Structure 1
């Protein structure tokens, strides 16, 4: 860093310091005046900062359903460009007023300046790579509702395969050349996937002989033979002018079948802790109820993720 100190002395019967008014009839010496001169740092010109590079990412996603034969995806064209971040540092002068000691224990204003580095950056495109990509899945057996999702991406000169959702553990083999890649997937052990959200559906909700009766149907009962399903119901009192009142909940577990029937009274439900949130604000007139419900599969065929369903129609008690 080169430092240059500018000072100006003018002698015309008195001596004046730059940017300061000094009464020299008070016996101020020259060294004190020169010490108040404005100092400016003058750095040597800076070289451009080292570049940083990254690559754009181009991807294509594929979804495959059940099939007894091999599946071949669409052949896609992917491009990726390298971008280099180039930065240059410039120095700009910044000044501000400071108070310095003056004669007779006074303070006088003066300008203090220094050079501040300011970095300017921009992205400069570099090389561009392009390549065709495709996926082939060897024969495997999926359940009717299962779908697998794969993704291939080109980032710089590298093309990679990503498995987002799969019903099997796969080994992947790369075939082709620098301009075209075919990923060949071979299935091995079966892997449980999420259960079908539309597998169990609402059938009926009614009041029979003083009991709430809820019915649901199962479209995949045959596929889940030997496994179980858990259905959870939450009973709510419908309040027209207030928040709906939660009355309790209960879980029912069944062997997989085409239909499920759940009969219960309010006394059969696990009750919430006493809280003003659940207080009935108005018990006059007819009482209306509805259910919020959901289900999960219990077994090895699918994951046991809980699936929330829509609430039932309102019934009058």
Structure 2
């Protein structure tokens, strides 16, 4: 059976307009999941994995179940059934954590022995596929990274490690292994820094929000702008930052206008009190007040909580 020429996979609808202007040959598929957020437990049977994801997305983002079916589950099924029909699959993903985790999932999905050529287009840090002019998108495609069998095998291994209930295994792999994807190490190290700090219970990005409020961010909009300016590596949008802020209010940040640290939040930021995180997921790890892992800022590494 003759293969179809090219399938382009874009991360999110924000890239579609720029991609259409570039008029690159091939079919286009948009990936609309955010696998860097919420429970990602690949040890579950596949149907249970997607049930868990659907429950999370419909709750966290007020997404109707039928919309999730159309936007995500139908897309997964299409890739599973027709992905091998293309001569080449090109994945267009930015350098941030959200994009890189989505990229890992898709590489292990489409990078099967039956697949044709699998390539990756990633703009330089600080650039976004959705904001590039047509000539830069064309150049990016010409310089795309074609992945070999061993590199696809590594992507599958990284996905299994990211979705493992023991994140220390991922940390060890990152220390011991040279990664084929140039921005994956930094993204996954940032993921590990999302775990609560051993000293005060704050994750790195939670601490950043507290510092911005302490420094004078008065509104949620100001807080978001400062976060995007100083911490673009997470790839967070409005929804993710609202969820993060919801976890911190009212315990650490008062629900006032203007925004203000609570007395307890100020003490935590000074290192004089310990914060117990509200329950949330980091991949396959359920973080709560009894969480089993914490990030040691002195050794710059994740460890089991004593």
TM range (shorter): under 0.3
State TM-score, norm by structure 2. 0.19
Name whichever structure is richer in helix by fraction.
Answer: 2
State TM-score, norm by structure 1. 0.18
